Each structure stands twice: as C-alpha cells, then as structure tokens.
A = this chain, B = another copy of it.
Amino acid sequence: MIETPYLLFLGDAPDMLAAKVAIGIRDWRPDHAVGQISLPGCGADLGLTEMTLEEAKAAGAKTLVIGVANRGGIISPAWKEVLIKALEMGYDIASGLHNLLRDEGDLVAAAQTHGGTLHDVRVPTVGYPIANGVKRTGKRCLAVGTDCSVGKMYTALAMDAEMQKRGMKSTFRATGQTGILITGHGVPLDAVIADFMAGSIEYLTPDNDADHWDLIEGQGSLFHISYSGVTMALVHGGQPDALILCHEPTREHMRGLPGYSLPTLEELRDTALPLARKANPECQVVGISVNTQHLGEEEAVAYLKEVEDRMGLPAVDPYRHGAGRLVDALAAI
C-alpha cells in the first residue's frame, strides 16, 4: 500500500510518451496527485501545478512517485539529488522502473536514516498462496486481449470509473506496475514465481459483497507465446464472471513477434471462454473493447458497428465513446 497523496516526479522526461505512469495517475486518480515536479529540460507537462518538494509537502504529499520511464535504466545523479532530498524531508518514494530503488545504496541509506519507504512496485512483497480454486463471493470481470498492449488496463479503469459514477460497487485490481502506481496497490504478476501466479490473483480479488465487481487488469494474451502463461493464470485465478474482449484492429503482427498474426475476436472468445468456465462455469463474454486510436472517427464507428453485428455483443472504444455500454452489459448479468 503506497501512501497518498503523491507528488509526481517527471524528471527530465523527453516527452509525454515517457510519462505514461504520471498521465495514468492524473487521469484516473486525480485526487492522488497534489502536483508535479520537473527537472530543467523536461519535455513532459501534465498540466498540474509545478511544485517544489517543500510546496508539495505543505500541500500534504506523502509519496514522491516516479512518473516517467527513464532512458537506459539508470537513475541519474540529477534524479538522485531530488530523490535523496525528498527522503530527507520525510517522503516515501515509489517506482516501477526496471532498475530498483533498493539497489541504490545512497537511496537505501537515506531511507533508513529518515524512516522513509522505497516502493519498487515491480517486485512482489507478499508470499502468495498456491491457488485453491474455492468459489469466492462477489463478482469479477477480466479484460482479455487478442494481443498485448491493446487497451486492457484502460478498459478496466474506464469501466471502474463509470461504475463509481453510477454508485455501483467496484474496485480496479491492478496486475502491472502502472496500475499499481495509479491505485497504490496490486500484484506485479509478471514478476511472480510461476507456481504462485494464479494464487496471487485469488489473493488480489478476495471474497466481497454479492453486488461488488472487481475489474481485473489483464496482462499479455492467451495468443502471445511469450506471455500466454501469465494470461492463463488470470483466467483461472481471477475466476471471472464476465470477460471483455480487447482488440486493436490495425496491428499487423503480435507485439514483438514478427510472423505471428493476431487471432480474430471469435477465436479469442472461443479460446478464453471455455478456459474461464473451468474456474467459473457461469462466466460470460459480455462485451468488446476496441482500441481505435489509429482509425478516423468515421472509420472507427463503422468498424465498431461491423464487430457489434458480427459478434452480437456491444463493441465500443471506451476512450472515444466511454465505457457506459460495457458497464450496462456487466450490470445486466
């Protein structure tokens, strides 16, 4: 559990693309961010109040969150200066970087001296159980994709936001470092030991009220040969009542795998649903989320209509048109 609110550290990020984590926090948990702090030459701007460490502290900030991916995986001396000063002032630090805060001697020393916590959210800190498959109370929705990086996290976050707006009971359940930094907790599934993957998802989505929905962040794809095992653990450990199929229609091959073509949405449905029903016989596919960012508006609308007619399920781009119809579909089961 990472203490909120945050001050978002943008460092010397060259552009907004590098600031994915910070953007996610600003968009999905704006109450978590009191402001942003940049170094000279920073090319990213979230449009939040630019603050010094002192100003953010006065505004209540508890944790300095590294909101950018750095180049070459190095925590530079320029970054260190800010991070160490933050620890001296009583901040915790949270990071999803590949190179860990805990491997930096000077950060560890400063954290120990000043009683701060270094959160490396890529590294599991819980001893997860082996999955036992016992039926849990409450409901769960899992986003599964035809490929990696097709919008599964965005879909779950958008559905959670819509459900909150409607006064429904829901929780976004993060399974990757960006999601964990956005919400402050979760399971870094890709770093969990094989035998405990499904158990970590059972742990993440425990018994709940009968009308509560966990929106589980998907990872990988059952069709992505590098990461399909991770996805499988979500399908079985998540015990989903509902699946949302996610797709990006312009992709020419599976991400990072030239020569591997994407499955169709039908193939995804016909593979994922029978597998999911092993863990939850009541599971249904309730809707389709399409990432239409590379299509024009007219093209996107036509594509969504074609998919909707073909599959007999609501097909939406939650980024363009909102997640309302996906939530309607969830609410109906």
Write the residues of chain A forming the contact surface with B, with a CB cutoff of 8 angstroms. 130-133, 189-195, 197-199, 222-223, 225-233, 235-237, 256-257, 259-260, 263, 271, 274-275, 278-279
A192 and B191 contact, Cβ closer than 8 Å, known pairs A228-B232, A230-B229: no
Interface contact B279-A275, CB-CB below 8 Å: no
Interface contact A229-B225, CB-CB below 8 Å: no
Give A278 to B271 CA distance when docked, in angstroms.
12
Return chain B residues, CB-CB under 8 Å to A279.
225
- Shortest distance from the beta carbon of A42 to any chain B beta carbon, whole Å: 30
Interface contact B192-A194, CB-CB below 8 Å: yes
Of A192, A229, A230, A271, chain B has the most CB atoms within 10 Å of the CB of A229
Q: What secondary structure prevails in chain A residues at the interface with B?
A: helix
Give A260 to B132 CA distance when docked, in angstroms.
11
A194 and B195 contact, Cβ closer than 8 Å, known pairs A225-B279, A228-B233, A229-B230: no
Q: How many copies does the complex hold?
A: 2
Return chain B residues, CB-CB under 8 Å to A195.
190-191, 226-227, 230
Interface contact A257-B192, CB-CB below 8 Å: no
Give A199 to B195 CA distance when docked, in angstroms.
16
- Shortest distance from the beta carbon of A291 to any chain B beta carbon, whole Å: 21
Give A194 to B194 CA distance when docked, in angstroms.
5
Interface contact A189-B198, CB-CB below 8 Å: no
Cβ contact of A194, chosen from B199, B229, B235, cutoff 8 A: B229
Give A235 to B278 CA distance when docked, in angstroms.
18
Give A189 to B263 CA distance when docked, in angstroms.
27
Cβ contact of A198, chosen from B130, B225, B237, cutoff 8 A: B225
Of A130, A232, A274, chain B has the most CB atoms within 10 Å of the CB of A232
Interface contact A226-B132, CB-CB below 8 Å: yes
